[in-house]
Structure 1
Amino acid sequence: MKRIFLIFGIVLSINVFAQEMPLGTSELPELNITKQKAEIFTIVEKAAEFPKGINNFQQLIAKNFRERKVKGQGVETCELIFVVERDGSMTGIQAKGSNESFNEEAIRALSKIKYKWIPGEINGYKVRSRYKVPLTLRFD
């Protein structure tokens, strides 16, 4: 009984593989599929931009910033670094500077901004791009 099923299966599979291809389908165009990586670009053809302009963006950071939370003397600097995603949202917010309280407050002030950016582009495609904003705070 097992041999009958085996022979029957072989005969059917020969019939399936022996079929000819219909005319006109033997030359299909080559399909190039490229996987979009979640790569973060630092150099793009069209830079990410804040919809109301960079001056308005800086004003929003200043408005959200609470100077009384920062402890320090003289001049403090930090650099805000974040990723503008394809949908315009900001992710991966970091602050690099020597004053930890300044860094924390800068991250908090930036995180409060809910406007979406216009993402950067390469070859007309929206891409993730890294953006840097320098901040300076002078103590009196």
Structure 2
Amino acid sequence: MKKIITFILCLGFGFAFSQVKETEILPAKDQSEEHVLSKDSKSAEYPGGWMALRKDIADRIRTKKINVGGIEGTITARAKFIVNIKGKIEDITVTGDNADFNKEIERAIKSLKAKWKPAESKGRIARSYYTFPLTIKLD
């Protein structure tokens, strides 16, 4: 009896620990989502243009949240983001000397609710990358 129970336990452990996990096949992405804008195409448009975008971001920046720490003059940063095929902003990266200013710019860009008109490349909707500088003058 003990031999049968031992045999069943060994067989059970053998089946339990010898299973191989199958690899999961991910569904293919839509090609229009992966297509990146080329230079000869129509770029994405913010409602009202670039000046409206700059004004909307400037209106959302809370200057009280920025710790200047004795810095005089100007603080600069560079914002980089992608406008996806649905007209939404994604993958925001802000670089600059002041971390608080960078965080505040990123927060302001994320808070934009306006939907962009997506870029077009060769007649297809495409993602587009944007980079622009932002500067704050300290008095």
SS at match of 2:44: coil
- Residues 113-140 of structure 1, C-alpha deviation per residue, up to 9 Å, x if partnerless? 0111111111111101111121001111
Contact preservation (8 Å) 1:44, 1:121:
no
Aligned to 1:132: 131
Aligned to 1:104: 103
Tell me the amino acid that sits aligned with residue 49 of structure 1.
Answer: E
Tell me the amino acid that sits aligned with residue 57 of structure 1.
Answer: L
Aligned to 1:94: 93
Unaligned runs of 5+ in 1: 1-34
Aligned to 2:53: 57
1:63: Cα distance to partner? 0.6
Indicate the percent of aligned positions where both proteins have the same amino acid: 34
Task: Return closer, same or farther for 1:118/1:44 CA change in 2, 3 Å cut-off.
Answer: farther
SS at match of 2:56: helix
Contact preservation (8 Å) 1:42, 1:130:
no
Alignment: residue pair count:
106
Task: Return closer, same or farther for 1:44/1:117 CA change in 2, 3 Å cut-off.
Answer: farther
Task: Return closer, same or farther for 1:59/1:117 CA change in 2, 3 Å cut-off.
Answer: same
| 1:117 matches 2:116 | yes
Contact preservation (8 Å) 1:42, 1:131:
no
SS at match of 2:90: strand
TM-score, length of structure 2 as denominator length: 0.70
Q: What is the CA–CA distance in structure 1 between the aligned matches of 2:94 and 2:38, rounded to whole Å?
A: 17
| Structure possessing the higher radius of gyration over alpha carbons | 1
Task: Return closer, same or farther for 1:127/1:118 CA change in 2, 3 Å cut-off.
Answer: same
Aligned positions of 1:66-77 closer than 5 A: 66-72=62-68, 73=71, 74-77=73-76
Q: CA RMSD in A?
A: 1.6
Tell me the amino acid that sits aligned with residue 42 of structure 2.
Answer: K
